[in-house]
Structure 1
Amino acid sequence: MSSEFLVVGAGLAGASAAWRLAQRGFSVTLVERDVPASERGSSHGSARIFRYAYPERVYVDLVGAGEPGWAELSALHGSDLVQRCGALDFGARRGPHGLAAVLASAGVEHELLSRDDARDRWPHIAFDTDVLLHRAGGVLDAESTVTTMVSAAQALGAEVLTGWPLRRLERTGAGFTAHAEDGRTLSAGRVVVAAGGWLPDLLGDLGLPSGFLAALPPLRVTEENAFHFPYRDGADEWPTLIHDRDEICVYALPGGRDAHFRGQKVAEFAAGRAIGSAAARTGRVDPANRERVVEHVRRFLPGLVPEPYAETTCLFTNTPTEDFVVDEADGVTVVSPCSGHGAKFAPVLGQLAADVALRAGSGAASVPDRFRVGSARA
């Protein structure tokens, strides 16, 4: 089997790249070591925060650039993939006033509330600072987003192969031969690798130039913990939230299908243990992390019963700055947007990957310089 593009990884980034490349008329093969939106990766489940609030304007603008794509995908899915329940930001380290200034500069509707006013509006949350609210925030369904993009790519002619774990790329003439772990092969003219937490294991086997590899920021894969807490008095008026104080940064959101619609998904941000790659994931929840999150719920989320009824682990793949990597070298495009905040950019990630892979693109979908490796290549 030969195609113009081989896309490796059917999570949010890879599925988006396959969809966007197929939209541009290219023949595409999408391979996934498991199944799309696999629980072994970073794109499973129904509950991810969708928000505009960032301290850097580049991310705020990128969220806006993805809005047409969310509308397009929701139409294909048949219902909204983003539930706009609003988003709250508070805590001394979160800096709600600074975030509000960035949103104002970008023209994003928002509201600053005093701690007391916020407590009156949401008595089930114990605020400790002023609060930023932006109503365009909410919850996105990651799994349904992936399956919708995969189906859209297939409808445009893309081939999707599951149970196909890439082992290495071999340069062959003007293109590549991809070798699976079991010896199967595929050929393609160019390759997009969006392998998530497996990327560190693959980097040395992709035929990338040494200069590119040397300049690539280190990728740190961690096994994070998430907990589901039941509502004490019902699920009304629960926005998403990020509460960053000196001791801990916690995020919470309605848990959706992941929590059987019974409660909130609550987690400490980027506090998991380093595991090297997704292959080392254990599925074991850290008891110390559970204790910290339960104590935070007890103090600051009185609308929840501080006893988790479900818990799980998930994967983050972080660069030191939490910026993404979207760059190309000699026919191989590396896409790594899984630093715990990439899901909201799903529709635009494929545009960025396609632009880089084709060495083209301008306007809203052009790749921010901070995502490029930007080194002389050997």
Structure 2
Amino acid sequence: MSVTRVELAGRSYEVRVGSGLLEDVAVQCGPLLRKQAVPIITDANVAAYWQEAVTGSLTAAGFEPHFLVLDPGEATKSWQVLEQVVDWLLDQEVERGDHILALGGGVIGDLTGFAAAILKRGCGFIQLPTTLLAQVDSSVGGKTAINTRAGKNLVGAFHQPSLVLADLDALATLPSREMGAGYAEVIKYGILGDHAFFAWCEENGAKVVAGDAAAQEYAVDQSVAAKARIVAQDERETTGTRALLNLGHTFGHALEAETGFSDRLLHGEAVALGMVLAARFSARKGYISQDDAARICAAIGNALLTTEIASLDLSCRGADLVAHMLHDKKMDAGTLPFILLRGIGEAFVDKHVDLAEVGAFLDEELAR
């Protein structure tokens, strides 16, 4: 097991990466659990694989697990389900000093974390991420949120977990599509700030998606370490450093909105395509070479992720996608910052992008 600390003033916590952590959850989480009853929020897919193991560990240690099992999918990050979760936690008599366990992928982690943030003005929670995407990105850093009609993650709070347990054994239960979606957030760290890690991803990305245990462990370790460094420098995204983690997300969230936040396009798939678009737009602006943009596209495609908008068969114009971007939570004084590239491993925030130019660029991409 490897341990990475997310260093925050007075609120540092550990991200533990290894095998067997869910089967050992009582030992790992025990010091944080004050009461016999342990509230756990998960979804039906995850429960089918891990509810028995988590229950066995906790009951053997004298705890009493209580599960709320939700429907899987992005639609669960909603006002209606948030209300259900909060009411259930109140029925469980959760107190401010208690810890709620979030057992699942990014949807469960975001939803549970937000519920913990607002319940009694802030309760503790522990992330038990079971997808690659959640292990390398969404479980670390304290961003919690739900989706609304206006867009993705527009209602939320910064609320850090007290502990993250990334059990590598959970990755073996994922379908290849989910692995690919998670891998997008892995290669992102290389593209935005680590040329050497990007080169490693070029050589090993297909192994990560295919289930190579050693490659997966290295990918998760490196990604968590990168995320922890960035969060420690800019927890609430006020200096611009953490904003770099949004590489691919402005384009990606627009595509998710256009596809109805559905399984038609998973979040990681949208981010992957968004990074391709960010690279191509950066090349169009003359910031990076066409060769670098093509290299990024190839590396993402090698992990069997889509690199063309046309593959989505959208019936929209570039202006329609730009309209979705106007609901982006990064809007500031009427302008929308874009995360673009000066090179592989050199992302930057561009606050002077002409949205009409973005629309024209997207029209070209839709017609490729």
TM-score after normalising by structure 2: 0.23
Structure with larger RCO (C-alpha < 8 A, sep 6+): 1
Compare the two structures and name the one with the higher helix fraction: 2
Higher-strand-fraction structure: 1
Query: TM-score normalized by structure 1?
Result: 0.22
